[in-house]
Amino acid sequence: MTKRDRTFVQVQIDPEKKSRFAEKLEKEGKKITDIVNEWIDDYIDGSEKVDVVELKGDVIELRQRLVNLEQSLQNREGELQGESAA
């Protein structure tokens, strides 16, 4: 696609949000145009839709499960140390 085959899209966002977005893009070495094009392609394709709310719930659940496993491991380690001291 040549530059003549392109068009411009304008959006309104909060200046602070734009600043944080630009900072993250710079850290990742990406350009706004590239990211927006990816988002549009994903939206049009629709085959890789991700339910962000569901994903967030899954992450929260996994974090809790990890905390529980770590606590169980610490408890078991304490029991084993107590047994070896006896």
Q: Alpha-carbon distance 29 to 15, whole Å? A: 21
Q: What does the domain layout of the chain look like in residue ranges?
A: 1-48, 50-86
What are the pLDDT digits (tens) for 7-22? 898 999 999 999 999 9
Distances (CA, A) of 44 to 37, 40, 58: 10, 6, 25
Q: What is the value of pTM for the model shown?
A: 0.46
What are the pLDDT digits (tens) for 30-66? 999 999 999 898 888 876 667 788 899 999 999 999 9
